[in-house]
Each structure stands twice: as C-alpha cells, then as structure tokens.
Structure 1
C-alpha cells in the first residue's frame, strides 16, 4: 500500500511498511508511540475524525449536527468500539496490528455519506504540525463534497492544493477587513473652527474675572472688620476650651485642664481672664500635690505658673509653703516676702512671723504680726504670737550666741562657763543618740535658749512642774545649782527628740505621739501594771499630758509612753514608727497613716488599748 505524506493537511499518506518516506520539505512524520497510550489514541482517532467531518457537512447543509450524543450512539463505529473492536484501516481489512501504522478506510456515517479517511499511528491519528487554525475549515471558504470526492479519486490530495486558492503555500493568510465608511467617534462633536472656540473661552474667562472683581469690591470689608471676625471665631473656640477645662478641673484632672486653659489663652491672647485661668489652674494643681504630700512636685508647678506671671501672689505663697513642707524654711522666705508685698494675706504674714521667730529674728516677726493686727485687730493668733515674741525679745536682750554644727546656743553673760560647756556637750550627745535611734537628723540647726528659772517661767508660761520646753526652740532653765548629770542628760535628750520628731513630721504629729516617743528615745520604761479610765481616748490622753496638775499630767505621760511601746512591739519597731512620722510629714492624717503602717484603723487600736488598760 502506497500513499503520499503531506505536512500541513490531512489526507492519503505515503507509508511503506514501517519506514516512512520524508516529506518533500524535509519534515519528519510524528514519532510512533507504543503501549497502552497508543491503543487508547487509536480507538479515539476514528471517532474524532468522523465526528469532525460530519460536523463540517452539517454546518454547510444547515442541518442539526449528527454529532450529538444520540447520533454517536447510533453510529456503526460507536457500536463496534463499544463491542471491543476498532475501525478498520481499509475496506475489509482487520484492525490495526500492535506497533504498526494503519490507514483508516472510507466509512459511511449514520446519514449514509462518505467519511474522510483517517490516518492513525500507534493507536492515534497522525496530526501534522501547523500554525494555529491552519489547515482547518475556513468559515469564509467552504469546499463542496464533490471537491473532496474528486481529490480522493484522483489521488491529488487535498493537502496538495491551496484550499482558498488565493495564496501561496506557507504564507500568512490575509484577513478580510470590513469596510469602515466613517472614522470612530469619540463622543464629542467636532467644531470646525477651533480658533473661534479658543477665542470664546478667553472672552468668557475675562468676563468672569471682571465680574468677580467687581463683586469683591462691592462686598469687601475693611481690615479691622476682618480682624473682628477672626477674633470672634477665636473667642468662641477659647470659650469652648475653657468650659471643657473647667469640667476637667472639677473632676481633678489637673494636667488636661491646664492644657485646655493654655490653648484657650493662646486662641484669645488679648484676654487677661484667659491668662488668669492658666495661672489659677497651675496654682490649684500645686496645692493638690501639696495636700497629697508631694512638696517638690508642688514647687515645680508653682514655678511653672510664675513663668507667665512672676509676681502672682497666689503662686508665690504656694511656692513658699511648699518649701516649708519640703524642710527648706530658708528657701521659703523670698517668695513669701514677695507675696506679702504684692497683696495683703494674713496667712502669709503669720507664716513669715513664725519663720523669722525660728531664725531668731524677732524684729521682722513683730513687723509682720503688727501688719496683720492693723488690718484685723481681732486676730487672736497674731495677738498671742506677738505677745510671745515680744516677751522673748525683751528677755533675750543682750544674750550671747555659740554656734556648733547642730545648734545655736543663746545664753547670758552671767551663766557659768563650766555649766554652759556641760550643756553644749550634753546637747551634742543627745543629737547623736536620737540620730542613731530614730535614723533622722533635722536639716537646720536647732536653737537652744538657756534661761534662768524666773526668766524661763516668764517667757514660756508653762506649768510649774515643767523642766523644759520645745516650741520650735529648745528652752531650758539653768540655775546656779546644776542638776545631776543623768537628769540633765535625760532632759536634753527628751527636748532634742521633740525637735527631731517635729522636723520629721513637719509639725503634724499629735501630742500623745510626741510625748510617748520622746520618752522612749530618752530611755524611759512603761509601767506594766498601768491602769487607765475605761472610756479614755487619745484626745483624753493629750488633755491629761497638758494638765496643770502634776499627777494627772504624769498619768497622761505614762499612757502615751505605754501606747508608743505597744506600737513598737507590734512589728517593725522604730522603722515602722519612723514611716508613720514620714507619712504625717507628707500630708497624711494620723487616721490615714495608721492603717497603712500597722494594718489597723485608729479606732480599732483605741478600742484595744482601752480594753487592755481598763481591764
């Protein structure tokens, strides 16, 4: 059997045994494959080619494609393949042998028409290599069945001729381009004269500018009117910020409140009230920090407010009080003096009088106290302090001074030099003892005034049983007859202990704590069989300790000593007691500090002490 091989078209092939002859253009036929894949492709090739030819004929004749599922099931080839056979390569021939190339015969379809022969190789149709859609039916140029039949009989092969008969072989098929009678439309109508359009646009722009200028001139406002408008807008914003800041200030959110007040002042710089709001905010914030025991933070806040208004009396007052609470009374004098010159404030004047009295400057203390009494003649605090300062000033006229690292000792020339040296030695020893036990030393020198007995009674106005006094200064009676050394030592330690406790607690320790701890530091022991009235309270203990009756006063001292000893035995020792004093100095009350240090409320402790002492 002999046929020709065409590279680009399907048709009769030239096969001689198993040695194919190369195509005229040198192209080799597809490789021959073996195995199961070959069998599968061999069975599928005839059906594919038959369906394809039938589809072409039906499309040409306008009939429904017989390649539907029902038509394919009725096709003889389909029946034979379902029965396990294969489409024969030649009429009356057997199926394709394993490993050989077969040429399909001319079969007829379900409609009785001849089918195109199919060439299979190793179980699959031989499909030449070609460009996309090349060699396939052209929808624009169809060949008739007579042309196919003529090619089959004459053996010329459909692949030897140009199917369209309009181009040379292996050339690019020209694509017919439909006529375009008019250019594509952009959706915008064209204007013949572009220059007229540009001129019209220029004229319209000029007219719009002229109209806008005239209208602007008509409704233009003066510079002052615009400034008023902007100022009103800024004032409205500042008012809103101020209201928000007041709300935050009332809620205790001082940082955010001061920030809002500052923004309001910036939006309305011409308003003095806005600036005052900022100042008052920092002032309130500083006093809040001072009440919570943060004097250093309060000082910074007061100083920040003074940057804007250096002479504000409220801020200057707060700065001075913060320095006193921080244990720096010398730093408080300058801001308090400036505040007193700025405006009258009785509290500032009284504080200055106390500071000058402590610094042993009675003249300045008297000036401030008289300034208060000129404005407020009925001010009893100022009157009592003035009487005390004037008595001391008169009594201490002509006193000498001896300054040591911890003390300023004042005495008369008539005092025995040996007695004076012994007292100074005892003072230094007492300071060392208290510092060792309490682990605290006052930051300022302590003033010690040595009186004769009659001067001591006249100046201090204390009860007859009192042998010493601390009221910011240590005041000791010294006569021609010196007391025993042990008694003098205990007296000096007791009074210096009062000075250390006062400085550590910033003057806020209650009297029962003062007297009980001072006795502990001097070395006194409590009475184990001490008894007290069943309804006694801490306030009653303080009243007993200040009673003019020596026996009652001694009972008050003994109870205060027993209470402090009980606190020391509860755990923590002197360290817990020192923490209690520090909390008092930071601004906490005794009722707030006691449960934080000892874990019990003050009322619970009182109840326990009454039950023990009264039983």
Structure 2
C-alpha cells in the first residue's frame, strides 16, 4: 500500500508539474488589453520581435504596454491575439522541466522519446509525458493533436480530474460539445469539489443546447468558488432561458430554429430556413468545410438586446448561435437575407478555424458573402489608405463590439476591403486555405505568408494599390 501511495504521489507531482508545460515564456501585454505569449522577445528598431515555436513575428513597439520576461505560459493557445472559444479555463499548475526536456526537443514533440517513456510500463509517467505533449500542442492551437495526446494520457490515468477537464475544454473548442459532456461529467465525479470542472461542464452543456443543465452546472461552480467569467456566462444563460421559455422549435436539414409563435409567422420561418439552407451550400462550396446543426433564435427587437447585450448598431449576432431580431417581419426582405448570409458565414469561419482568426478577416469574409462590395465606400477608403491614415489590420484583430458606430463603420469597411483585395489578387481558394491554416494553429502572419506570400506589411500595401486602382480619384 505504501508503495502504491508513493507511486500515486509521484504521478500527481509529475502531472501537476507537466500540465502548464513548456519552459518559461515572455508575455507581451498590448495597449488594447490583449496579450501575446511568446517563447522569446527582443526590441529591434522600434519593433518587438517575438518567436513562437520556429516562427518569428514582429509588431510595432507603439502597440506594446509592457513585456513580462520569463513568465509561466499561463493560457494555452494565447500566443495569438485573436478571438477564440470562450471556454472556462482548467486549473493551472507548475512545470516538470526534466520530463518536458525529454518530450519536447528543438521546438517539437520527440515521438521516439514519448514511445520510449511509454515502453517503460509506468502508467503514471506515460500519462504525464502525453500530457506534456498535449499542452505543447494546445498552446499552439493545434487542437486536434492536443486532443489526441489528451486521449492517450487518459488511457493511462482515466480518472484524473484535471486531465479530464483539459480534454473536455479542448473538445468544446473543437466543436464537439456532446463528447465534451461525457468527460466533463467524469471530471465532476472524480473531483466533486472542483469548481473548474463544473464550469467547463456547464459550457459543454450550453454549447450542446442543454440550457437548464448549463445553468445548474454554473451555479454549482459558483457555489464552490466565485468567478467573474462564470458569473457572466450564467447571467447570459439565464437571460436566454427567460426570453426563450415559451419558444417553439422547427428543424431543417442543418438548422434548429427557435421562435415565439406570435412573432414569427409560418411564411417568415419557411423563408428563413430556405435562405439559410441555400447559403449553407454556397459556403460549403466556397470554404470547403461545413459545421453540423446550427441553432437559430428569432427575437423581438427588445428581447434581442436583452439577451445579447449587443451594441445599439448591431443588426444580429452569432455567438455560436444565430440570434436574429425579426420584429414586424412577415416574410423575407433583402436586408434580412444579407443578415442571415452574414451571420451564417461566422458559423463557418468559426468552425473551420476553431474561432482562432482575427476579427477583420472574420467580418470581411462575412460581408463578402452577404454579398457586399467595398465600392459603396471605395473612394473614401482609397483616400484614407493613400494618406496612410487607415487603422492597421493588426489593430483590428480583436472584437469590434466595443467600438462606437463611427469606429465600427471604418473597421467593417477596412475588413471588407482587405478580404476583397485578397480574393481579387489571390483567389477564393487561397482565402479558404488561409482559414484552414488558422484552424491548424498557424499564427495569422505565418498563415498570410504561406498563402499570399507576404505578411501584414505586404497586405496593407496591396490593399492601398487595390483601392487606388479601383476607387481612387
């Protein structure tokens, strides 16, 4: 028994030591509130150069608030300042440097070393080694590879709660909430006092359209430990539950439509599902991949803003579900069709990239697919770019939701111009490939270089020339 306890203690030490993985990292804090986790950083000629794995990138020093050198890499996948799945975080623990050094060599996983560790027949050590590999891949947003290593680790340590939490979290990010629920429930049974386990389980329930179960799980999480993010999620779910308490449901091949009977006549619902199904096929052809069933909720205008807390200029929202205000409508209109096209496109880009894409690209593609053209504001944009007064694309990577109406107009216009330029100069196939590369975990600069053969600087120049050529006066 003492020997068994000693082995369990050793595994717990290795496990806790491994889960945050990778050596010390530098954290770049940007003035827009986001952070970049890098392997190393240094300043060169008014720019901050940073490395992630084998790739080197640079941003203007003027965008940087502070740099924390040698900090633990706290958030897997946070090396890129791009929108991501807003899953509650599993707990963080400390590094096991000896094991990491064996598994991670020259910036990549040493598969032979991993097999050698597994061949020793020590289940605890094998689980910890696969955990190192999983966290290495998760940090780089290689979610499919991370899931594979987490699953292998669970084969060696099937009831370890923290491992179950991390695996469930990755499965949600991969768009597999039903599968995530199984592991989230196992995590709560393995560690019933772990608030993080209930937080992640709640998110999996929420993404799987089990609203009441999500609310119960988040309440349990908060009873164990207060957390502002979980409080936010719970408040949103309760607003949604209240607004949709008496909603009915209608399904088509790829959509589940929820609506209040008096606010959504038969003709409107039929038109909406028809438009969505037709555009689903268009997007699948344009982008080369498609999500599974998509939820759509129809609201009165007041209920829409009550549930989403969206800015006043919002025409609709996609936060994993399409939320559409339809007050007073009895059938399809050109404006509603554009909104449906736009919001459905976000479901596709989010699915392909696991929501690991800059906002300018997401909104640009969504506008292009409405379809909308930059011609309506082309001359003004051409003058803006020619004078060098545009908002740089690397400052349009995070959400536009905090912008006022005038700022948002410029941001959306620039996003559309950027995507229109890429499609015109490099083709729709390269635009789709750019999304695939982001989904595989590549940073945006690297993905741009491997598709359009240049990073942000070249793209800004191309956009300027594109606008001058087509809309300049």
Does residue 404 of structure 1 match 2:259?
no
| TM-score, reference length from structure 2 | 0.69
Query: Taking structure 1 as reference, are residues 305 and 610 closer, same or farther at Cα in structure 2, changes over 3 Å only?
Result: same
Does residue 386 of structure 1 match 2:240?
no
Which residue pairs with 2:322 in the alignment? 474
Does residue 304 of structure 1 match 2:152?
yes
Specify the SS of the correspondent of 1:522: coil
Specify the SS of the correspondent of 1:430: helix
Aligned-residue Cα RMSD (Å) equals: 3.0
| TM-score, reference length from structure 1 | 0.54
Measured in 2, the distance between the counterparts of 1:371 and 1:561 equals: 43
Deviation of the 1:609 alpha carbon: 4.3
Measured in 2, the distance between the counterparts of 1:438 and 1:540 equals: 25
Measured in 1, the distance between the counterparts of 2:205 and 2:97 equals: 43
Q: Deviations over 1:260-289 (max 9, x none)?
A: 54465x5xxxxxxx6432211111123334
Measured in 2, the distance between the counterparts of 1:430 and 1:253 equals: 41
Which residue pairs with 2:217 in the alignment? 368
Which residue pairs with 2:301 in the alignment? 453
Instruction: Say which structure, 1 or 2, has more relative contact order (CA 8 Å, 6+ apart).
Output: 2
Which residue pairs with 1:282 in the alignment? 130
Does residue 589 of structure 1 match 2:438?
no
- CA contact under 8 A between 1:434 and 1:493: conserved in structure 2? no
- The structure where strand makes up a greater share of residues is 2
Query: Taking structure 1 as reference, are residues 374 and 243 closer, same or farther at Cα in structure 2, changes over 3 Å only?
Result: closer
Which residue pairs with 2:411 in the alignment? 556
1:4-153 maps to which residues of 2 (within 5 A)?
none
Measured in 2, the distance between the counterparts of 1:463 and 1:434 equals: 27
Which residue pairs with 1:438 in the alignment? 287
Deviation of the 1:453 alpha carbon: 1.3
Who wins on radius of gyration, i.e. which is larger? 1
Q: Deviations over 1:302-357 (max 9, x none)?
A: 33333332212244334434434544332222112212322355554443323222
Count residues in correspondence: 364
Specify the SS of the correspondent of 2:261: coil
Measured in 2, the distance between the counterparts of 1:398 and 1:492 equals: 23
Measured in 2, the distance between the counterparts of 1:248 and 1:428 equals: 50
Which residue pairs with 2:73 in the alignment? none
Match of 1:355 among 204, 210, 214: 204
Deviation of the 1:495 alpha carbon: 1.0
Q: Deviations over 1:570-594 (max 9, x none)?
A: 22x1111111111111222212211
Measured in 2, the distance between the counterparts of 1:424 and 1:589 equals: 35
- CA contact under 8 A between 2:248 and 2:261: conserved in structure 1? yes
Match of 1:424 among 249, 262, 273: 273
Specify the SS of the correspondent of 2:262: coil
Does residue 332 of structure 1 match 2:180?
yes
Match of 1:500 among 331, 348, 360: 348
- CA contact under 8 A between 2:358 and 2:398: conserved in structure 1? no
Which residue pairs with 2:364 in the alignment? 516
Specify the SS of the correspondent of 1:414: helix
- CA contact under 8 A between 2:301 and 2:327: conserved in structure 1? yes
Q: Extract unaligned runs of 5+ from structure 1.
A: 1-227, 229-241, 267-273
Query: Taking structure 1 as reference, are residues 340 and 599 closer, same or farther at Cα in structure 2, changes over 3 Å only?
Result: farther
Query: Taking structure 1 as reference, are residues 295 and 534 closer, same or farther at Cα in structure 2, changes over 3 Å only?
Result: closer
Specify the SS of the correspondent of 1:523: coil
Query: Taking structure 1 as reference, are residues 263 and 491 closer, same or farther at Cα in structure 2, changes over 3 Å only?
Result: closer
Deviation of the 1:565 alpha carbon: 0.8
Match of 1:567 among 419, 422, 427: 422
Query: Taking structure 1 as reference, are residues 367 and 610 closer, same or farther at Cα in structure 2, changes over 3 Å only?
Result: farther
- CA contact under 8 A between 2:168 and 2:200: conserved in structure 1? no
Measured in 1, the distance between the counterparts of 2:220 and 2:332 equals: 46
Specify the SS of the correspondent of 2:389: coil
Q: Extract unaligned runs of 5+ from structure 2.
A: 4-95
Query: Taking structure 1 as reference, are residues 409 and 248 closer, same or farther at Cα in structure 2, changes over 3 Å only?
Result: same
- CA contact under 8 A between 1:246 and 1:257: conserved in structure 2? no
Measured in 1, the distance between the counterparts of 2:119 and 2:327 equals: 68
